[in-house]
Amino acid sequence: MMGDFDPNTNEDWSPSKKSSRTNSRNKAPLPSIDLHIQVLNPNLKAASAVDIFDYQMEACWGFLRDSKAQGIKKVKVIHGVGSGKLAGAVSRIAKEEFGASMVSRHTKKKLRSGETVIVF
């Protein structure tokens, strides 16, 4: 692992109430994390694919852990559209490590948008 990410010391990784969308019933937006490397850590943009993936997974794991610890029932993980490796890994850890009751992937290829909604 890269060692740059420490969810215990970096307060910026706690679940955020920020989101680009709200639902039609004017409810609060879902807490979310954007796993695009240019958002997480622009300094790693030139790193190897393995290092970037490891960093993204550490950030996702920390976000899911903190969300569940805070009693948040539903979150959104923005992973983008690509090979599906990151989206698949997000779904797997949500189910296997955090006991998610529902994992729903949403992809809009024309908008290059991919996200996973997770219910604990």
Give the range of the structural domain holding residue 80, as residue numbers without chain letter: 29-119
Residue 23 lies in a domain: no
Per residue, the 3-state secondary structure of 51-89, as one string, reads HHHHHHHHHHHHHHHHHHHCCCCEEEEECCCCCCHHHHH
Residue 64's CATH number:
3.30.1370.110
How many domains would you assign to the chain?
1
pLDDT of the residue at 11: 44
Residue 14 lies in a domain: no
Residue 22 lies in a domain: no
Average pLDDT (87-103) is 94
pLDDT of the residue at 3: 47
pLDDT of 9 strictly over 70? no
The pTM is what? 0.74
Residue 106 lies in a domain: yes
Average pLDDT (54-71) is 97
Residue 110 lies in a domain: yes
Residue 4 lies in a domain: no
The larger pLDDT score, comparing residue 25 to residue 76, is at: 76
pLDDT of the residue at 28: 86
Helix (H) or strand (E) holding 49: helix 49-69
User: pLDDT digit string (tens) for 34-49?
Assistant: 999 999 999 999 999 9
Residue 16 lies in a domain: no
List the one residue out of 57, 42, 51, 48 whose CA is nearest residue 92: 57
